[in-house]
Amino acid sequence: MAKDEEFIHALKTGDSKYIEHIYREYLPAISQFVNKNNGNNEDARDIFQEALVILHQKLKQPGFELTSSVFTYIFAICKNLWLKRLEKSRKLRVTFLDQQELSIVDELDSHIEKESQYRLYRKKFRELTAGCQKILELFFGGHSMKEITKIMDFGSVQYTKKRKFKCKEKLISLIQEDDQFKELT
């Protein structure tokens, strides 16, 4: 249990030393599960990272407490994520969640879905040019077009508006073209 507390603290604060321990201890079991169910190690790492992000976000919410061990949570989330992917890609569904895993997934259900979407949005955002990332970062951060024009040293607000529009269009098309987005919606 002391180990769990350390892991919870690491997940809350993003302590990479303990996060590394989490990978070493828990990823092999997830890989085994994914490999047995039409996936590979890369798939396993992807859903494992997604599960850690979900748990990190959830643990930051005031009042949230784990009702099972860290491993049970991570495994339940990973299983759920992988089964959903199998279902969407019409591969054979071979494994089901047990009762405890079901209750964890029910508890986190809407959070899991939203976090999966947000993670995809951030992943696609990283594919934009540095300039586009900066403009959208400022825009989503609540800066006005006038402020962005000044910060980016653009010639006019109209140009900034146009550039922001194009960057947002690019981001949206990257997201919508991704197979995972189609799976999530």
Partner 1 sequence: MSEELNKYDEVEKAVDNPSEERIRLKLRDDAAFAKEVAFHAGLKKAISDQGAFEFEAMLTEVEDRLYNSKKSNLRIVRWAISIAASIVLIIGAYTLMEWRAADPEYLFAQHFQAYQPGHTDRSAETVVTDELRAFEAYEQGNYERAIALFSNLLIEQDNPQYRLLLAISWMQQDQPGQAIPALKDILSENDTSYQVEAAWYLALAYLQMGELPEAKAQLKRVEASNSKFSPLARQVLEEL
Contacts with partner 1 by CB under 8 A lie at 14, 16, 19-20, 23-24, 45, 49, 52-53, 56-57, 60, 114, 117-119, 121-122, 125, 129-131, 134, 136-137, 140-142, 154-156, 158-159, 161-163, 165, 168, 171-172
What count of Cα atoms within 13 Å lies in the side-chain half-sphere of residue 156? 3
CB of residue 125 vs partner 1: minimum separation in angstroms? 6
CB of residue 108 vs partner 1: minimum separation in angstroms? 16
CB of residue 106 vs partner 1: minimum separation in angstroms? 22
Q: Are 152 and 134 in contact (CB under 8 A)?
A: yes
Which of 57/68 has CB closer to partner 1?
A: 57
CB of residue 93 vs partner 1: minimum separation in angstroms? 28
Helix 2-13 vs helix 70-88: angle between axes, to the nearest 10 degrees?
60
Which of 93/150 has CB closer to partner 1?
A: 150
Token couple for 169: 């269009």
Q: How far is CA 88 from CA 61, 73, 75, 81, 150, in A?
A: 30, 23, 20, 11, 45
Which of 3/45 has CB closer to partner 1?
A: 45
d(C-alpha 137, C-alpha 51), whole Å = 25
